């Protein structure tokens, strides 16, 4: 087994055409170019994804919603809401995005790689059980977490969401269970309007949702303080068997859709901590799934910095 972080990449994700839209194929083109220029596509596994089964997708999403997305695509596409577009091939591409996240879980559980970063689109963390929204069709990371719990009989999976927007769909998927610890750092107030600190779970899930809303203008220092003082103790207490990350890069100071001040170095420092936690708690098992990030240069630079930190965490402060 290599110690390098494996990647899941595919030109098939470019087929989800969104037109004049922030969430466009150019995002993945910029990431691939950035990785190539940094020499980071050599000497590591780079895999093509496989689509998720309908059974897995409907474990998180209502069957009637999944069927509606399929029909809309077959009819030539359309809009789920003012932000979320479906093109004629969006349905199979969305299955591929979910499948990539599942495949990443399978790879780390089988020991094929200690860590996997799945570069997917459409993103997923806003997709709720009965509706897509916020550029998202199916909730890739939630589907992957469900798969981990049931295929491998895990009891504790942690999901850390550092996208600048709250992962309302992921929260909704696991709000009633203690088998998933969901942690989200996000700008507040901001779309989608969920993620208050008072949202902590329900029933058996009470206390297993940790929302950390942040004021506009928050930068590296506050993020890293929360990682060290709040998130790390919570993870040490929970002791997850697998760590998943919704890796969005729209908290970057150059991103047009938010107003935060995180730098590439900040994302690298967060990634280094996540790897150390995985090494300590989960036998290294770590999966990252791409979410947002809409300034192309900032997105590519932040992904490169993240991957460097995942490969060599001790080089990052």
Rounded Cα distance, 160 and 202, in Å: 19
The structure tokens listed for 295 are 């300034």
> Where does the chain have alpha helices with state H?
26-37, 54-60, 63-74, 90-110, 140-151, 168-174, 220-226, 232-238, 264-281, 296-311
Rounded Cα distance, 55 and 57, in Å: 6
Q: List the catalytic residue out of 16, 125, 126, 165.
A: 126
> Which of these, 36, 44, 53, 47, lies nearest to 12 by C-alpha position?
47
Q: Which residues contact 301 (CB under 8 A, 6 or more apart)?
A: 34, 264
The single residue listed with the structure tokens 């719990």 is 149
166 is catalytic: no
Active site residue ranges: 126
């Amino acid at each position: 087994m290599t110690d390098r972080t494996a990647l899941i990449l595919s030109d098939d994700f470019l087929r989800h055409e969104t037109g004049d839209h922030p969430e466009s194929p150019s995002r993945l083109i910029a990431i691939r170019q950035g990785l190539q220029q940094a020499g980071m596509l050599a000497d590591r596994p780079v895999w093509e994804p496989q689509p998720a089964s309908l059974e897995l997708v409907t474990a998180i999403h209502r069957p009637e919603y999944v069927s509606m997305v399929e029909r809309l695509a077959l009819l030539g596409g359309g809009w789920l809401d003012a932000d979320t577009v479906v093109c004629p091939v969006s349905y199979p591409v969305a299955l591929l995005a979910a499948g990539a996240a599942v495949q990443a879980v399978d790879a780390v559980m089988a020991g094929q790689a200690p860590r996997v970063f799945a570069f997917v689109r459409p993103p997923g963390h806003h997709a709720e059980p009965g509706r897509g929204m916020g550029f998202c069709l199916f909730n890739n990371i939630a589907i992957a977490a469900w798969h981990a719990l049931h295929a491998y009989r895990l009891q504790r999976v942690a999901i850390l969401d550092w996208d600048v927007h709250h992962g309302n769909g992921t929260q909704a998927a696991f709000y009633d269970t203690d088998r998933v610890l969901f942690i989200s750092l996000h700008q507040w107030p901001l779309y989608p309007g969920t993620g208050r600190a008072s949202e902590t779970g329900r029933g058996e899930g009470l206390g297993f949702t940790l929302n950390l809303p942040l004021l506009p203008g928050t930068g590296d220092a506050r993020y890293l303080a929360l990682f060290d003082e709040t998130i790390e103790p919570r993870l040490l207490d929970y002791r997850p068997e697998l760590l998943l990350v919704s890796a969005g890069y729209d908290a970057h100071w150059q991103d047009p859709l938010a107003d935060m001040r995180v730098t590439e170095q900040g994302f690298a420092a967060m990634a280094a901590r996540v790897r150390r936690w995985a090494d300590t708690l989960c036998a290294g098992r770590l999966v990252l799934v791409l979410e947002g990030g809409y300034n192309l240069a900032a997105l590519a630079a932040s992904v490169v910095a993240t991957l460097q930190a995942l490969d060599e965490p001790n080089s990052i402060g």
